[in-house]
Amino acid sequence: MNTQKITKNKIKGIIGRHEAEKTSLIAILQDMQNEFRYLPKEALVAVGKHLDMPLARVYEVATFYNAFSLKPRGRYLVEVCAGTACHVKGGFNLLAKLERELKIECGQTTKDGTFTLEQVRCLGCCSLAPVVRIDNDIHAYLTQDKIPRILKKYRK
């Protein structure tokens, strides 16, 4: 999944796929998030205009859900599970290792825009703990020494 260039036409195209009703708001924001990997300001402004909704209301929804990001995310989203099972199995060590390997802190994006590192609560596969999800691939029973090789695969 590549980070897409943000153009007015693309924003228009996404909005145009939905009906101009208030109930379309979240669906439109989800499509924007999928397309751009984050919600650019100009997109939120355009959505508000299309739905005849104040920007303050759109902003409320966009900042409420963790699924939406207002900061540009990298090409690959690295999510370290911090749920109970993964935590007990040492998920925090994986996060520390990833921070060292990527030279960023949790919540940041690498300079080249390849990886964004985030922590999530539970990915729903506790029997595979500890897990890290990269771009929707689950890496199960992960240990620190496997991390460099995995990252290399994505860097290519």
How far is residue 152's CA from residue 156's CA, in Å, rounded to a whole number?
7
Q: Is the link from the previous residue into 130 a cis peptide, with omega within 30 of 0?
A: yes
In sequence order, which residues have a C-beta less than 8 Å from that of residue 101 and are 6 or more positions away? Answer: 147, 148, 151
Near another protein in 9-68, by CB under 8 A: 41, 44, 54-60, 63-64
The distance of closest approach from Cβ of residue 36 to another protein in the complex, given in angstroms and rounded to an integer, is: 16
Among 56, 64, 54, residue whose Cα is nearest residue 26: 64
Nearest residue (CB) to another protein, 64 versus 141: 64
The distance of closest approach from Cβ of residue 53 to another protein in the complex, given in angstroms and rounded to an integer, is: 8
The distance of closest approach from Cβ of residue 109 to another protein in the complex, given in angstroms and rounded to an integer, is: 19
**R_g over Cα of the chain:** 17
Nearest residue (CB) to another protein, 60 versus 137: 60
Q: Is 147 in the site for another protein (CB under 8 A)?
A: no
- Interface residue list for another protein (CB under 8 A): 41, 44, 54-60, 63-64
